[in-house]
Amino acid sequence: MKRIAVLGSTGSIGTNTLDVIASHPQQLELVGIAARSRIDRLEAQMTRYQPRCVAVLDHEKAEELTRRCSERIEVLRGIEGFIRLATHPDVDMVVIGTSGSEALIPLMRAIEARKQIALASKELLVMGGELIMQQVHQTQVPLIPVDSEHAALFQALQGISPTCVERLLITGSGGPLWSMEARELERVSRTQVLSHPKWQMGPKITVDSATLMNKGLEVIEARWLFDVPLDRIRVVIHPQALIHGIVELTDGTSLAQMSLCDMRLPIQFALSYPARWPNALPRVRWTELSALQFFEPDVDRFPCLRLALEAATMGGSAPAVLSAANETAVWAFLREELEFGDIPHIIRETMASHEPMAHPTLDEILQLDRWARQTAQELIRSARPGSRSPVPPLTTAAQAHGLTG
């Protein structure tokens, strides 16, 4: 029996994780759940899944949930509440399903406490990949990626010597706007952006899919997870979204992981690893497949990808600033405070204002995260819709490491 805590239980990853846990009652036990502020959903999950512990990041919402549930369960609060849940003595594995920077310290503390980690938040490795992986190697804690592309690469790499790996290919559907011309992308609506053709995800990651920022973040994530140089990681657009990752070997062999688009598959694999458990999820209908297509990403139409690749090459603190600026701009777009075409401009200007640090500490990363969010927010307030021009590169780095084709 593996005992699980879920940080970010009310989001897409969290709700799918709870479904997987409920589907395997003989192998998995839910110990605790945590969320930032959505206490109505959290209370419904408490009623349905009966966890022993619950944590709420927002102190006022935690107080409200305590008033509702004072006789049923103790409500932990704030970052300390997240840490207490992530390091709970009865927890064997922590699922990190929240994309917020507030999960970085609980993640580090969970690794220190030698908890197994199922990591769905690419932003945390983007922010602090060097520190996180140093801690993983020191403690020998298993860290299993849940992000579909990295789960695919992780599976394809099983039993493969690092010396045999030539290149990693990260695939992406291209998102809901892939077929649009550049002029059409400037002022697409929230509805268009949130209508992903393949995946059902939360709003932030769906916008990242539409800008292709998610592919850039995944390159940074893969660099740390698999200890592969950036020039051996490539992004490929695959509209059918059947192949989620490809490992090219030195002898010319390619190993691809293939499955239907259902996040419960990589979640279950992370929770069951190294075993594989049966389930009733839909299977690929091989005889009904007509074509598999692959394209180079277009960083002129989707400059967020280029900015992410440049941040990856700059290294140090640059990815943390990129991630914070992107998240701030994305939520401004979702609140209709910013046009879609302004997102990369906000990110670029925030990054241009930052002098990268080579090896930032945890405290420095968190300070930079706050600085980048504040800087991006100030730029958003002064943004002038309609004054956009093409987003110039920060450096020539994106071409230098061959990730743009």
Q: What's the one-letter identity of residue 177?
A: L
Q: CB–CB of 317/364 below 8 Å? A: yes
Residue ranges of domains in the chain: 2-146, 178-234+297-400
Instruction: Answer whether 271's CB lies under 8 Å from 28's CB.
Output: yes
Pairing mode, if any, of strands 165-172 and 243-249? antiparallel
Q: How far apart are the first and last CA of the chain?
A: 46
CA atoms within 13 Å, Cβ hemisphere of 180? 19
The yes-or-no verdict on residue 202 having pLDDT over 90 is no
Give the integer Cα–Cα distance in Å for 94 and 117. 5
**156-175 residues labelled b (16+ CB within 10 A) or e (exposed):** bbeeeeeeebebbbbbbbbb
- The mean pLDDT value for 335-359 works out to 95
**Residue pointed to by tokens 């995800």:** 201
Topology given in CATH for the domain delimited by 2-146: Rossmann fold (3.40.50)
**Which helix (H) or strand (E) covers residue 403, if one does?**
none
Q: How many helices (H) and strands (E) does the chain have?
A: 17, 11
pTM: 0.93
Assess whether the region 2-146 and the region 178-234+297-400 belong to the same CATH fold.
no
Q: Which two tokens stand for residue 323?
A: 């991630």
pLDDT in tens, 250-266: 999 999 999 999 999 99
Q: How far apart are CA 224 and CA 164, in angstroms?
A: 18
pLDDT grade for 404, boundaries at 50, 70 and 90: very low
Beta strands in 121-242 (DSSP E): 143-145, 165-172, 233-237
For 139-144, the CB contacts below 8 A with 24+ separation are 139/111, 139/112, 139/114, 141/111, 141/114, 141/115, 141/116, 141/117, 142/116, 142/117, 142/273, 143/111, 143/116, 143/117, 143/119, 143/225, 144/116, 144/117, 144/118, 144/119, 144/269, 144/270, 144/273
357: burial class by Cβ within 10 Å (0-12, 13-18, 19+)? middle
Q: For the chain, what is the mean pLDDT?
A: 92
Asked if the peptide bond before residue 303 counts as cis, ω within 30 degrees of 0, the response is no
Nearest to 300 by CA among 201, 212, 203: 212
Name residues whose C-beta falls within 8 Å of residue 236's C-beta, 6 or more positions apart in sequence: 169, 170, 171, 172, 246, 294, 295, 296, 297
Gap between the Cα atoms of 257 and 276, Å rounded? 15
Average confidence (pLDDT) over 80-89: 97
CA distance 207 to 53: 32
pLDDT band at 189 (very low <50, low <70, confident <90, very high): confident
* Residues of the chain above pLDDT 90, percent: 82
CATH code for the structural domain at 178-234+297-400: 1.10.1740.10
Q: Is the pLDDT of residue 300 over 50?
A: yes
Backbone angles phi, psi at 234, to 5 degrees: -130, 145
- Asked whether the CA dihedral 214, 327, 329, 202 is positive or negative, the reply is positive
Q: Residue 201 has what pLDDT?
A: 79
Q: How confident is the model at residue 396 (pLDDT cuts 50, 70, 90)?
A: low
Interval 368-373 mean pLDDT: 96
Query: What confidence tens digit (pLDDT) does each residue in 2-50 have?
Result: 999 999 999 999 999 999 999 999 999 999 999 999 999 999 999 999 9
Q: How far apart are CA 343 and CA 340, in angstroms?
A: 6
